[in-house]
Structure 1
Amino acid sequence: MTPMSSGSMTRVSRWVYPERVTTECQPPSPRCVLVAGPAGSGKSTLAKALATQLRLPLLDLDTLTNPLLDGLPASALAEHWLSPAHGPAIRDARYAALTAVAAEVTATAGAAVLVAPFTAELAGAAAWDRLRAALGPTDPVVVWIRGDAQLFARRRVQRAADRDDHRPPTPEPVPPAVDHLPIDAELTTAQQVFRVLRALGEPMGVAPGPPAGGIEVDALLFDLDGTLADSTASVARCWDRLAREFGAEPRLIQENHGQPSDVLVGTLVGPDRQAAGRARIRELEIADAPFIDPIPGAHQFFSSVPDDRRAIVTSGVRDLATARLGAVGLPVPGIMVTFDDVEHGKPHPEPYLLAARRLGVDPARCLVFEDAPAGIASARAAGCRVIAVLGTSPAAELTGAELVVDGLDRLTLVRRGDAFRVVPAG
């Protein structure tokens, strides 16, 4: 896959206070956004959420064309219009209608969110050139919802839409040949929207205002998952598969994010199958580790901290933590507290107390970076200060953190004698 480069985009530097979160919308991006993905990927849901957040018109291929095609008399077509018999002709007509409407909308409104499979267009060549030309002088941002074909097939069964009864067999998803932003289908809609807006450089709907002088500490302690490594989708994939294999309820996974793996296994599979469940989830997560993404700015910020003043504190086991660090190109620090090292995991304070003790630093002089309520509770109970990183949980749930940022690229570490001060970047 070809991830979209954000180097040329303007990003807004800001610090976020959880108690000052607002729903006030920001001015829309001037670029059109194309949301694409296979049937069942959730592209219409994501596109609607993005259009609402960006205050842009929403143009859905299905909404624009399906009512007309569904309303044709039975004598007009020998088979359903989605059947392979009508393939190219119907397909070309539908996309011609979408392109024409999009050209008028962008000429008047300036931009729009478009949603369709865009299979031919995203392969490049003439179809892509025609679409680009219709949307104005600036190339659109392509958001591609990636995922497993079996996941999309299950979703199509669950939605029980009539159109799926006439759809030809869906092949394995093929990522776009054009520049695009991949978004995992396993994420919640809110998590997907967050990642798209972050890539676009859009404000997150929160009020700025850094604390005077930044935050001064002697050591920095980092959670791993959702803080240094964007493993949220990987976690969802693996735990969903475990739940399906063991006949458990998948919703319990989201409700217990940040809990130690062994605790969550017990919640999902019950006491009689915990050993098998623990072994299976470790196998699944380690196998999936190469597919996780880095958190923006995590490598640079983490690497700016001297090794004797930093630690990773994770609810995962050591071999999984090592695999995920390797996947995002981060070194294993000299101090790393994992679930293997403690009797009580997060939200108990033991993990962060142990990390501070190993570093020889007073917990009150430690700054913790976390993404989940359980981790924040653990750090606060240990007496540490906390900065929360968005991407897993909504800001409103990150109570206890004195500051919330949407990525570690928002922060800079400044040496002050034997101490460090964390200040806004740039």
Structure 2
Amino acid sequence: MQISTVIAVAGVAGSGKSTLGRAIATQLSSPLIDLDHVSNPLLDALPVEALGGEHWISSPFAPQIREGRYAALRAVVADAVSTTQSAVVVAPFTAELTGGHEWDLLREAVAPARLIVVNMVGDPQLLAARRHQRGAERDSHRTDVGASLPAIDVVCVDAELATEQQVSRVLAAAGVRLPIDEAAPLFTADFDAVLFDLDGTLVDSTASVIRSWRRFAEHYGVSMQALHANHGQPARTLVGKLLPRELHDEALAYVTRLEVTDAAGLAPVQGALSFFESVPATQRAIVTSGSVPIAHARLAAAGFAHPDVFVTVDDVTRGKPDPEPFLLAAQRLGVAPERCLVVEDANAGITAARAAGCHVLAIAGTVDAEELDAEVVVDGLDRVEIVRSGDALRLRPSGASGRT
């Protein structure tokens, strides 16, 4: 990274902040500074009697221990910034997130570097299960692992996501972007319409989808691995593959309720709202593997207008990866499929779009960029824009394309 940058990864115990911090540091070749590694070996070596007869987490001297731990952390971070101009720092940062005195001390320690704070969030039940699974002795001494809403600007990352998905979101927020091939033929093609997938393309619902299907899997005792392997396919297809026929209707209704309920608070994918709104209403459609209730809930939560042409799983007999959904959308718009640009984030949708004869722009983040077989792959729709080309539409890069 050319700009001196410190990425601080915060979160409660079990949120996965250490795993994410290590992955970011590896990706950026930056020093990794973990509060536990800086201070815990020393504290664990002290006799309990020296700590008031309690574990250091619950010791009567806990406030002083906390102050000393973070003072040591800041000193190490300051050294890293002065010598390497970057660092990835991992700690709960509970007090720092309130924006008070501790926040000022952290900012002073990293100065003059830019400070980006990543806050790990997640289902409390999931985080409790992770703490139980890892069996760390220190967790048994914690009396409060909850966290209040940050008072400072943070990049929220859901613990439900895979580490690779988390890293892609953090890097994009930090300005470390995928390069764009500005000479790609896709940037010289003319289109009559743009067909958008919904989940992971317009609405950042990936964590919500994973959380809902995790709860579904727990309820019905099915494999999460099988669910991940079939991402992008309709719910009825997944239910049909995973459960006996007599449970299909009940299970489909159950997962629909989960997904509609979990839609509250969903945000647009980076750059998606302005990109979507830049396409004339008569030349755009949404083509989703979700049902009408789920699609409506997610669009409303993320602030998208309901499109005139809206193809859901309820409109087709064969969902993605079959081309039928995109063919139907093109037909309803009155355009030829080969004159359509499809925007997708999943391989099932890309396969469907290609089979329909459409051009494809892929959004990385749900799936790693190298795994997406599209003409152009970007890590956010802020990287491209739609412009007029006579009576047609054309895609073009919206800014500098190199990785910083």
TM bucket normalised to smaller? over 0.9
Deviations 1:219-254 (A, max 9, x none): 111101111111101101111111112222222222
For 2:388 and 2:180, the matched residues in 1 are separated by 28
TM-score norm. by structure 2 comes to: 0.94
For 1:323 and 1:159, the matched residues in 2 are separated by 36
User: Partner letter of residue 225 of structure 2?
Assistant: R
Query: SS where residue 346 of structure 1 aligns?
Result: coil
Q: Does 1:87 align with 2:67?
A: no
Aligned to 1:5: none
Aligned to 2:300: 326
User: Partner letter of residue 146 of structure 1?
Assistant: V
Q: Is the 8 A contact 2:326 2:353 kept in 1?
A: yes
For 1:74 and 1:412, the matched residues in 2 are separated by 61
For 1:241 and 1:28, the matched residues in 2 are separated by 42
Deviation at 1:324, TM superposition (A): 1.1
User: Partner letter of residue 172 of structure 1?
Assistant: G
Q: Is the 8 A contact 1:229 1:324 kept in 2?
A: yes
| Larger relative contact order (Cα-Cα within 8 Å, sequence gap ≥ 6) | 1
Q: 1:164 to 1:417 in 2, by over 3 A?
A: same
Counterpart of 2:131 (choices 132, 142, 156) is 156
For 1:137 and 1:422, the matched residues in 2 are separated by 38
Counterpart of 2:337 (choices 343, 363, 368) is 363
For 2:225 and 2:61, the matched residues in 1 are separated by 40
Q: Does 1:211 align with 2:184?
A: yes
Query: SS where residue 376 of structure 1 aligns?
Result: helix
Q: Is the 8 A contact 2:94 2:147 kept in 1?
A: no
For 2:108 and 2:196, the matched residues in 1 are separated by 46
Deviation at 1:310, TM superposition (A): 1.2
Structure 1 window deviating more from structure 2 (253-262 vs 206-215): it is: 206-215
Deviation at 1:325, TM superposition (A): 1.1
Deviation at 1:183, TM superposition (A): 0.9
Aligned to 2:402: none
Query: SS where residue 91 of structure 1 aligns?
Result: helix
Counterpart of 1:60 (choices 34, 48, 53) is 34
Please list every run of 5 or more consecutive structure 2 residues that lacks an aligned counterpart in the other structure.
400-404
Q: Does 1:312 align with 2:289?
A: no
For 1:208 and 1:381, the matched residues in 2 are separated by 24
Q: Does 1:132 align with 2:104?
A: no
Aligned to 1:102: 77
Query: SS where residue 60 of structure 2 aligns?
Result: helix
Q: Is the 8 A contact 1:33 1:140 kept in 2?
A: yes
For 1:327 and 1:31, the matched residues in 2 are separated by 33
For 1:344 and 1:367, the matched residues in 2 are separated by 21
Structure 1 window deviating more from structure 2 (93-102 vs 134-143): it is: 134-143
Aligned residues: 397
Structure 1 window deviating more from structure 2 (306-315 vs 133-142): it is: 133-142
Aligned-CA RMSD value: 1.7
Query: SS where residue 5 of structure 2 aligns?
Result: coil
Deviation at 1:28, TM superposition (A): 5.5
Alignment of 1:316-395 (within 5 A): 316-395=290-369
Aligned to 2:261: 287
Aligned to 2:206: 232
Deviation at 1:137, TM superposition (A): 2.7
For 1:314 and 1:95, the matched residues in 2 are separated by 47
Query: SS where residue 183 of structure 1 aligns?
Result: strand
Deviations 1:248-298 (A, max 9, x none): 222222211101011112334443322111111111111111221101221
Deviation at 1:321, TM superposition (A): 0.9
Q: Is the 8 A contact 2:269 2:380 kept in 1?
A: yes
Deviation at 1:157, TM superposition (A): 1.0
Deviations 1:323-344 (A, max 9, x none): 1111111111111110000001
Structure 1 window deviating more from structure 2 (350-359 vs 302-311): it is: 302-311
Deviation at 1:84, TM superposition (A): 4.2
Deviation at 1:138, TM superposition (A): 4.1
Q: Is the 8 A contact 1:301 1:412 kept in 2?
A: yes
For 1:173 and 1:245, the matched residues in 2 are separated by 27
TM-score norm. by structure 1 comes to: 0.89
Counterpart of 1:141 (choices 112, 116, 120) is 116
Structure 1 window deviating more from structure 2 (265-274 vs 328-337): it is: 265-274
Query: SS where residue 49 of structure 1 aligns?
Result: helix
For 2:256 and 2:250, the matched residues in 1 are separated by 10
User: Partner letter of residue 403 of structure 1?
Assistant: V
Structure 1 window deviating more from structure 2 (264-273 vs 179-188): it is: 264-273
Query: SS where residue 285 of structure 1 aligns?
Result: helix
Q: Does 1:259 align with 2:233?
A: yes
For 1:147 and 1:268, the matched residues in 2 are separated by 26
Aligned to 1:415: 388
Deviation at 1:356, TM superposition (A): 1.1
Query: SS where residue 263 of structure 2 aligns?
Result: helix
Give the % identical residues.
Answer: 53
For 1:32 and 1:97, the matched residues in 2 are separated by 16
Deviations 1:330-385 (A, max 9, x none): 11111111000000100011111111111111111111111000000111111111
